[in-house]
């Protein structure tokens, strides 16, 4: 009796579908991943309980009103666009970019209007920015000024 040998097929794993799945996952993660680049603005924030300093007569004061309008040294600007603020700063400074800027913002002013003012100051080329604060009512002493400067 002759035994017939069964043909054994070699088992092989087809790698093509596995590679396709890996590539699809790679593309999925590449498309859904967000890359954020954070920009940082260095600003020295004043402390609310600091001693009041004397005002500098050779400085430019920018006032941000509650409605988001700007005024430079007491003169209101015609609109609240950043281009108008930059042009007003150029006229008021006379080209002297070393002058300190005092930013006075109303407590009810929107964050966007304050950031717009700071952006306009930066675009104009000024490097010295002070932000005015007001002391809390319980910390104020009689005869003290309400505005603290850095």
What is the dihedral sign for C-alpha 147, 106, 88, 40?
positive
What pLDDT, on the 0 to 100 scale, is given for residue 98? 84
What pLDDT, on the 0 to 100 scale, is given for residue 73? 87
Q: How many CB atoms lie within 10 A of CB 81?
A: 13
* CA–CA separation, 122 and 127 (whole Å): 7
* CA–CA separation, 122 and 25 (whole Å): 44
The CATH class that applies to domain 60-148 reads: alpha beta
What pLDDT, on the 0 to 100 scale, is given for residue 32? 87
CB 82, CB 120: distance < 8 Å: yes
Paired tokens of 3: 């035994």
Domains of the chain by residue range: 60-148
pLDDT by residue for the chain (150 residues), tens only, comes to: 566 666 667 778 888 999 999 999 999 988 888 766 655 544 444 455 555 555 556 888 888 888 888 888 888 888 888 898 889 988 888 888 888 888 888 877 888 888 898 888 888 888 888 888 766 654 445 554 444 444
């Amino acid at each position: 009796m002759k035994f017939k040998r069964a043909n054994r097929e070699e088992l092989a794993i087809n790698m093509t579908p596995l590679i396709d799945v890996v590539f699809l996952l790679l593309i999925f993660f590449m498309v859904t991943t967000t890359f954020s680049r954070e920009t940082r603005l260095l600003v020295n924030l004043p402390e609310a309980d600091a001693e009041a300093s004397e005002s500098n007569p050779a400085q430019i004061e920018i006032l941000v009103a509650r409605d988001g309008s700007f005024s430079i040294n007491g003169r209101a600007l015609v609109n609240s666009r950043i281009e108008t603020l930059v042009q007003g700063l150029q006229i008021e400074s006379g080209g002297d970019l070393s002058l300190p800027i005092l930013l006075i913002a109303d407590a009810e002013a929107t964050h966007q209007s304050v950031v717009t003012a700071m952006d306009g100051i930066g675009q104009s080329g000024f490097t010295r920015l002070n932000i005015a604060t007001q002391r809390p009512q319980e910390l104020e002493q009689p005869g003290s000024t309400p505005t603290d400067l850095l």
